[in-house]
Amino acid sequence: MNYKKVYDLTHPLFHNCPGWPDFDPPTVVKMLYQPRDICTVEKIDINTHTGTHIDVPLHFCPDGKALEEVPLERFVGEGPVLDFSSKGDKEAITDKDLDAYADKVKKGDIVMLYTGRGKTRGFNDTYLKNWPSIDESGAQWVVDHGVNMIGTDGLGIEMYGFPPDGTSRVHPKLLGAEVLIAEEVYLEDLAKSGKDRFYFVCLPLLLKGAGGCLARIIAFEE
């Protein structure tokens, strides 16, 4: 592959870093460290959906594929970054909004939704509860257009609290159609690059029987 630049789209993990408000924050402890010990080793206690991570069908679908059952090629591929940074707090990204980018999305793409929330990462309402996200109509648009994976720089692919009635509809619609999901993807550098399409590598840890896991996500500018 010929490429000009490699972008790291992964938020760093650290002790008590921000994550889904209903989960305990991660703990990171130095188990061994130099010069006291022969080497440095850390021990972590972390939810598998903290920080930059991938959701696979089992996450919301009891009969869906677990992480190790998803073909490896599903985690790599081309796709666009769609700019929704003009959206306000908790504003929905609908099918009509996505129609404006229909000419940029190809079947089998990895599509990233840029909302500008990645740069606000921290213990604040903007990052933890108020990001824009696709609604059920937007999720159906993604399914209908044959998208392979949909990603966001927000904390989740749908709104915190699953409004209007607390029931998740976006996750089941996407994962039920085997559309993979990437959440908390850092997209600031891609959004500023002036490029429309990138080649993404989105590799979760291979945790057997899991509905998703922490991932290192990078993009190549070809």
- CATH number, domain with residue 66: 3.50.30.50
Provide the percentage of residues in the chain whose pLDDT is more than 90: 96
Reported pTM: 0.97
> Is residue 139 a part of any domain in this protein?
yes
Rounded to 5°, angle at Cα 61 from 140 and 126: 65
Give mean pLDDT, residues 8-14: 98
Q: Residue 222: its pLDDT value, please? A: 77
Q: What is the model's pLDDT at position 69?
A: 98
- Alpha-carbon gap, residue 175 to 109, rounded angstroms: 16
Q: Is residue 28 part of a domain?
A: no
Assigned domain for 29 exists: no
Let me know if residue 122 belongs to a domain.
yes
Helices and strands in the chain, H and E counts: 5, 12
119 located within any domain: yes
**19-59 residue pLDDT tens:** 999 999 999 999 999 999 999 999 999 999 999 999 999 99
Q: In whole angstroms, what separates CA 55 from the centre of its chain? A: 8
Percent of the chain clearing pLDDT 70 (strictly above): 100
57 is a domain residue: yes
State the pLDDT at residue 1. 64
In this structure, is residue 182 part of a structural domain? yes
**Domain enclosing residue 169, as ranges:** 5-12+47-221
Q: Is the pLDDT of residue 2 over 80?
A: no
Mean pLDDT to the nearest integer, 149-157 = 98
Instruction: Quote the number of domains for the chain.
Output: 1
Q: Is residue 19 part of a domain?
A: no
How far CA 92 is from CA of 24, 113, 158, 162, 195, in Å, comes to 27, 12, 9, 12, 25
pLDDT digits 0-9 by tens, 54-70: 999 999 999 999 999 99
Q: Binning pLDDT at 50, 70 and 90, where does residue 3 land? A: confident
How does pLDDT run across 101-120, given as a tens digit for each residue?
999 999 999 999 999 999 99
Distance CA 54, CA 221 (A): 22
